[in-house]
Amino acid sequence: MDMPQRSQDVALLPCRHVSLDMAHFLARRISEFSALTVEVLAPWELPREAFHELRGQYHVGLVLEALEKMSAEESYRRLVAVVAQDLFLPIFTHVYGEARLSGRVAIVSLYRLEAAQDGVVPTRQMIRERAAKVVIHELLHTFGLTHCRHAGCLMQPVTTIPGLDSLHIRLCRSCANLWSTIRPGILSPKPP
């Protein structure tokens, strides 16, 4: 009897303005952190209807809806889009990322992660590490992890670049315990 094949765990979907080097770096960081398999998909375009002319930003909720439609019939368990454009929710001026809690899709924007802060232009490595933190944070939301109050935990909500820079890619004990109970179910093959 053949062993059931495990579907791709995570598909990383870069928009056409995100370098493939960045996409592959993020795929490696996801895999290193989680032991999930990650495939980098061909670049895509953000849906035009999600663009808000007055704000000059993309409505993240509308983009997530488009991603949900895109992922509905695919074999991967999660879809994470990485875009270069600025994202917003009506109640926030911007968001670094957003995910459907316990859903299949998430999105991360590099736009503000690449911006200079207090006159300091971030290095390539700083941008990559910021992006990895946000991507893994949002991906973990799709597996049911919520925001955490423990200082330094990757699941802590972050609204500033200095706050993001102060985090490490690690979970507090509570979040790590929750992740350790969820992860084995993800790594098991899907039945045929």
The CA–CA distances, whole Å, from 189 to 5, 98, 105, 111 equal 6, 27, 20, 36
Q: What is d(CA 57, CA 94) in angstroms, rounded to the nearest whole number?
A: 8
Q: 49, 114, 129, 138: which one is catalytic?
A: 138
Tokens 């997530």 belong to residue: 64
pLDDT digits (tens, 9 = 90+) for 108-144: 999 999 988 778 899 999 999 999 999 999 999 999 9
**Helix (H), strand (E), coil (C) string for the chain:** CCCCCCCCCEEEEEECCCCHHHHHHHHHHHHHHHCCCEEECCCECCCHHHEECCCCEEEHHHHHHHHHHHHCCCCCCEEEEEECCCEEECCEEEECEEECCCCCEEEEECCCCCCCECCECCCHHHHHHHHHHHHHHHHHHHCCCCCCCCCCCCCCCCCCHHHHHHCCCCCCHHHHHHHHHHHHHHHCCCCC
The question of whether 39 is a catalytic residue gets the answer no
Question: Structure pTM?
Answer: 0.91
Q: What is d(CA 42, CA 23) in angstroms, rounded to the nearest whole number?
A: 10
Mean pLDDT in residue range 166-170: 94
Confidence of residue 188 (pLDDT cuts 50, 70, 90): low
Can you give the pLDDT at residue 192? 46
Can you give the pLDDT at residue 185? 76
Q: How many other CB atoms sit within 10 Å of the CB of residue 61? A: 14
What radius of gyration do the chain's Cα atoms show?
16
Confidence of residue 1 (pLDDT cuts 50, 70, 90): very low
Can you give the pLDDT at residue 20? 96
- Buried-exposed string 97-122: b where 16+ CB fall within 10 A, e elsewhere: bbbbeebbbbbbbbbbbeeeeeeeeb
pLDDT digits (tens, 9 = 90+) for 3-40: 334 467 999 999 989 999 999 999 999 999 999 999 99
